[in-house]
Structure 1
Amino acid sequence: MRNVHPDADGVFRVVAQQKNGSVPIGASLTATEDARSWLSPSGDFAFGFQRIRGKDNYVLSIWYDKIPDKTIIWYPQGNPMVSRGSKVELINGRGLVLSDPQGTDIWISSPISNLAYAVMNDTGNFELFDSDSRKIWESFSFPADTMLPTQIMKRGGVINSQKSETNFTGGRFQLRLLPDGNLVLNSRDIRSNYPNTAYYISGTYDPSNSTNSGDQLMFDATGYMYILRRNGQRFDLTPNDALPSGDYYHRATLNFDGVFAQYYHPKNSAGNTSWSVPWLVPGNICRDIVGERGSGACGFNNVCSLNGASRPNCECPPGLPLLDPSDPYGDCKLNFTPSCNEDEPYYKEDLDFMEFTDVDWPGTGTTYVIIDSINTQECKDSCLHDCSCAMAIHDGDKCHKKRLPLSNGWTNESLSLKAFLKYRKGELPRVSFPQFPGKKKNQKTLITIISALLGSSVFVNVIFIGVICLGFFLNYQRKAKNHYPNTKSVNTNLPHFTYRELVEATNVFKEELGKGAFGIVYKDERPSWKKRRHLALGIAKGLAYLHEECSTQIIHCDIKPQNILLDEYYNAKISDFGLAKLLIRNQSRTNTGIRGTKGYVAPEWFRNTPVTTKVDVYSFGVLILEIISCRKSVKENESGNDYGAILTDWAWDCYEERILDTLVGNDLEALDDYKNLTTFVMVGLWCVQENPSLRPTMRNVIQMLDGVVEVSEPPCPFPLSVTIS
């Protein structure tokens, strides 16, 4: 049976009355706080939208519905996370369709001309059937990060991890059954999907006898996993007798931290019983993942240690904060990057080292020199006088000199080596840096010293207290000298620059951009193509957050270079929300007067029509074309020749005539990365389409820039202008 109910927009849609897990054509679900779901006959599994913990986003998914934590076991690859009000619908001729609140398609299962119904079954598999009851699509064939009993992976099969616990986009790790029959775990480059060196190999490839090699990864109905060889023999993964008898749920998940583990959970448990782990690989991911490429179990410059559950913990070294504070497994940023540019000399007296024990960054890709028969001081001196050297690791009588970024960092008390990280004095606080992982050992040593002092004579204690007081006094005097007179001291983490550094950065204050109440703004030396790519992606992510991830949707209305702030690592921060427009819940467009800055204003502002977030997309399109070409959106040409005066027009001409070298001013670095250059230009041209409906969302922009979604050929952005001319 089916009932018909109106949506919030007044459109009547079919609401399924489920029977035996069956879902009829026309049935739909909407991402809301109290969203319904499609249940399997037993009620064990549910298909629908789950809200992501701590966010106002949702993920289309399949989960265990009877377990309190609602463990997710499937989600569509590529575009799983959506905003409130998004919808999934079963449509004949199209399949299972996921769309955003504006009705734009985000994900489609597969086009199906004679789709009849769908079934959420008790194995956790969501299936689509045609009018002859033939199965024509199933979620088991497109796994996310989890396998379930009765699910099979064939040779060439792959699953990707999540990016983090709350980010369901594709992460850094893969489980693959290679064509040769080996089951492997490897990290990957997310942008290119290029696999790095495997850190787990099953050993089920036999070069001397192909019939003895692996053929399928099996997860049988009893909960045991094994690799089925081509000769029919088994290579067991789940240890014998590792699973309890009784009624249990079973799953095997490639976790976001790169550990592949099998889990079981009692079906009829009282309270919040957790999942148990009968086996996992690798045994020590911190140590086993070391390779030439990739950052390791943790991000670049990060340090991995193993917890009691054989899962990695990641911790940035003191003074090196996380690049993304919300991702402890991500990269740690350094406050000093050694430079070998002759125009930017450094002085060894300005440098110092942070010292670590029981820590190593053994990534071979970052080691460029190994010196034998050398002591610790000689190792440090060698790094000090080498502008390419960011870290020196002294192990025995060997000195390993490393470049940035550091990879595969891990810690263990059994390591007998010392690591020295070079930094510029004044950029990091002069504190005693704790050792990894022996913090308790250091604390115990400190307690012992204090106890010994307190147990000594009164005379010694008086001297000790006097030394401390003198130290505080000198420190106070030093701080007082470092501040301007007659001003109050303000604690800040803003970087400080010497006059010499400012002279060099601005080419002796050559070009003035403008003046304000706080002083004059001067233009910096063109950024590298790599930095420009990073900048464009950062701005896109900031806008996507405003448009889709904020609890209240925000249209900025004035995206332009002057409103983009950069930190020292070229991380973009969107600023100046003076013209911003808030959208109330379930509102996708608004009426307001013209807002913005000449050269960045979308055409719909002048048509007296409601505006949407697509006005920011247009402004971003102009901005990304500026970032690519390193020129203004509107250029005043003193020669009187108007060709190329409007950046969007000129960019289209350069793209259409395939002369992108002209657009980037023969920037060799950009031209060497021609594929990405073309992608970025195409994205910019899609964003500046006169028709707002043709512009992508900022989430789509990120996916295109990241290479997750292929970019199609853009049409002429201004067909009306072309027709008139």
Structure 2
Amino acid sequence: MGSFHPFFFTIFLSCALVSCSNPSSGFIYPNFTSKGIHFVDGFVGFLTSVNETFKAAMINPFGQTNFYLCIVHMASNAVTWSANRDAPVSNAGAMNLSVTGIIITDQDGSLKWSTPRFNSSVSALQLTETGNLVLLDQSNATLWESFHYPTDTIVIGQKLPVGVYLSSAASSTDLSVGSYWLSLTSSDALLQWQNLTYWKLSMDTNAYKTSTYPVEYMAMNQTGLYLFSNNGAVVVIEVNLSVSDFGIAKLDYSGQFSVSSFSGTDWEQVFAGPGDKCQTPFVCGTLGLCTDGAASGNPLCSCPLNFHYSSPSQNPTVCVPSDGSYSLSNSCNSSNNNNSTGNSSSVTYLSLGYGIDYFANDFTSPVKYGINLSVCEDLCSQNCSCLGIFYDNSSDSCYVLENQLGSVMSSASNNNDRLGFVKVIVGPSPANFAPNKDEALGFPIVALVLLPFIGLFLLAALGFFLWRRSTSSKTGKIHLNSQTLPSSEELDAFSIPGLPVKFGYAELEAATDNFKTMIGSDRSLFGNGPVLEWQERVDIALGTARGLAYLHSGCQQKIIHCDVKPENILLHDHFQAKISDFGLSKLLSSEQSGLFTTMRGTRGYLAPEWLTSSAISDKTDVYSFGMVLLEIVSGRKNCSLRTRSGSMNDESSGGGYSSSSSGQGVVYFPMFALEMHEQGRYLELADPRLDGRVTSEDVEKLVRVALCCAHEDPTLRPNMVSVVSMLEGETPSGEPRLESLNFLRFYGRRFAEASTAEEYNGQDEFVFPQFNQSITSSRGTLHFNFSYMSSQQVSGPR
């Protein structure tokens, strides 16, 4: 017998481990395990679709040591989905399919990724011909599918619904989540970086808007990319593409969203947004100047005037001041922050020169209008998050750049009136500064010398304060409830810069007309004074909408006000709206779309999700704004007393309202507005005190916006940015969805029934008894168990 060659033994052992058979076609079943080491030498995968269009495999797509559970298009070898993109495993890591789902563990057995828990056992894992990985139960019902958890790619046949987003990879060789996001709103598809929008599908020259219906999902087929509504029956925006058998839409690690088709052996890019790569936020690194390289098709990177590369080999690049006596300011979120709002004298600004713009300027609103450059710089100096500004000479408006600086770009227009300035610190950056040995050793000695003097100063200040208290009768002190409070002069003397403004007793006395006027009630809409003209009402509505839009999308963290009502909209002398009273507000991080919290807000403005213990989101404020908008239109509370003669007797409205009904009770105005909208009788909704000084078209516009905001289903409500656009006339008013507004009829009936159980409370609201109710609506069965309370019982002026 001949000797056994070691090479053949190795092949035999590998075949024993891998089972060297063809991968399963279409399905695999529980108690299946696959390891990354099986695929080092190009093993095709453990599961393919029936026609071998896609495969599922534990692979290292970049030939490194990181392995991922991936779905791969076999002909092109393109990764279309990955499970553990933020938790790769070694080549000895394993994917295990059991009756509880899929788990991925590393060599030491540590859990890296898993599917969620299910109510029934897993019977099979299927890979479909569209590239969808699906877990099935014994009745072939779907328990989980990869299409519902996209990474950076969607394929033909896959839907990307509103509320789900694509996130880019970190780099060309790293599948982990990067810095760019593609998300859908009710009207558009957006690309964002650091919460800043830098591209909208509707603004692309290849996109066509065909409907104003609210967007439900994005999808693509062999002929184009679409935003659909009405379960796919209505196309809202479309991008027509050349016919292809297979295509993908992908958010690249560079921040560009593209559609590519595959034919035979090659990929062809057929659509890209933004089309100009210089409009992607970080294409040239921090403060890098991007110039279109027309010949090569790739952008050219350099540094602006007054700046140079900190290190030519650094990637990504950073442009820093050429003058070494200046250093870039760090955001207050940075661990090595060298900017202090209390030391603005050390701050100055370096110009970027003419013909330079920032990617986000066309997608954000200025923080201030009608100011000069000096005031714009002061706004930035007092904000540690502000790293630079752009000032528009033509409109005297100020844009701020916050938290992190991206690339700048050569402006497409020679007439660009925006001038960019970067905030810098005078002196070397503390990050690059290290004290010498003598200075480091000298610090404790200095501290020991100074601390006694500081202590003596604090004792002297305390003694002075106590002495002033003892002479209260001579220093203008005030006495409330037998307690002595310091005067406004003393408060000013001990104030800390940066804290909210402190108002003295005399100031409050003057502001409230000797405490006769209650703040937070600020009469213009519901009072008996001069009637607000229609344009003033529109301006107030628009100002409020802009304020809420800023809270929802203009801040680093999304702010949900939670108590939008007329009492919390204060008016400037010229009726400029100011949103106030943030005592109930909630913050949402960039990863959160909503949160659960106890009920808060004011009866009459609470969205249905408050009452059904659902998660609240920025759409909760949108509902409240819709209720406020109806009150702005009518000049009266949404719930008012109806006399036996049929007229409206809202004591706070200052006007009457005719109704065809008779008898005493409650009229729920949102229900009436819905009915008048259905009949096209919009003038009957306007404040009768306007007496013909408003047109039906004007009222219709605001009523349509209000009803769209009041949809029962939060996903059907527009966001506040879209509301601003509709009020400004940039986009058409939305089309209210009646099936999502029928709950208003139920509310109206309950208000009417409850009004017979308890009398009007003599104020501007009713107090209703508790009731339990279940109703069937467009969102299924809703269960209510709550008490109607007055505003002051839930929220009120504070």
The TM-score, its normalising length taken from structure 1, stands at 0.45
The TM-score, its normalising length taken from structure 2, stands at 0.42
Give the structure with higher Rg (CA): 2
